[in-house]
């Protein structure tokens, strides 16, 4: 069976964007993505078996993930502009793109940090399951997410990303399932019950996991802004 996925970037534009000045990323890229429309294709032999169905779903998910990453990329007047993700060292496969390079200190294990983020789930066509900008205090100001690096309470991919950033920086990270949610108790946890339920029933869907789709179900895309670092 031949499956072709052609996605227009404009139709998948994220409704919310961080107000940042975009800076060209580092050159040690492992993934190179163009800002123009993307297309991807996959083929497999025609079969009525369940394995054929799961292959189709995996292919669609991979196509959608690629298109979403492109659609979240900063816009540019040059159609030939290329945005480069690089793999963070010792991160288990987390890939990052600097949207704004900070000028402050770099946090380390034991530091208490505060971040703002947008969290999206690739398997749900980039559905935004949580954002700290939606968490408001009594004055209507967004409440950042605060955690201690190395505490083990937060998913590994976010910790790896924050440890690679300077204070004031903004980055986009692609977090593979192995560095994402391993249980429903790991933070950050969406405060809305229905968002939480949709997130975890997708990631930990036993039928789709049994069909070998674990490599795509839990892929996360986070935009992270490091707003404070406090040494403990």
Contact status, residue 134 vs residue 97, Cβ threshold 8 Å: no
Whether this model's pTM surpasses 0.75:
no
Mean pLDDT of the chain: 76
pLDDT at 65: 52
Residue ranges covered by each domain of the chain: 2-230
DSSP state of 200: H
Q: Please name which of 45, 160, 170, 154 lies closest in space to residue 93, comparing C-alpha atoms.
A: 160
How would CATH label the architecture of 2-230?
A: Roll (3.10)
pLDDT of residue 228: 97
pLDDT in tens, 139-168: 999 999 999 999 999 999 999 999 999 999
């Amino acid at each position: 069976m031949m499956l072709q996925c052609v996605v227009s970037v404009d139709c998948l534009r994220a409704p919310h964007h961080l107000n940042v000045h975009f800076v060209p990323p580092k050159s040690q890229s492992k993934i190179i993505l163009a800002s123009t429309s993307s297309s991807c294709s996959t083929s497999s032999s025609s079969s009525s078996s369940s394995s054929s169905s799961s292959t189709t779903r995996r292919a669609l998910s991979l196509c959608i993930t690629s298109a979403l990453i492109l659609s979240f990329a900063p816009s540019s007047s040059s159609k030939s502009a290329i945005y480069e993700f690089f793999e963070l060292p010792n991160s288990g496969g987390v890939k990052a793109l600097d949207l704004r390079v900070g000028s402050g200190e770099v946090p380390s294990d034991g530091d208490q940090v505060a971040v703002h983020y947008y969290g999206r789930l690739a398997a749900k066509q980039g559905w935004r399951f949580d954002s700290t900008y939606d968490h408001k205090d009594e004055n209507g100001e967004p409440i950042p997410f605060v955690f201690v690096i190395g505490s083990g309470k937060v998913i590994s991919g976010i910790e790896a990303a924050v440890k690679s950033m300077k204070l004031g920086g903004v980055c986009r990270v692609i977090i593979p399932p192995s560095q994402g949610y391993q249980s429903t108790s790991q933070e950050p946890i969406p405060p809305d019950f229905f968002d939480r339920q949709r997130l975890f029933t997708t990631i930990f869907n036993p039928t789709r996991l049994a069909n070998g789709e674990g490599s795509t179900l839990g892929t996360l895309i986070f935009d992270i802004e490091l707003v404070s670092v406090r040494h403990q």
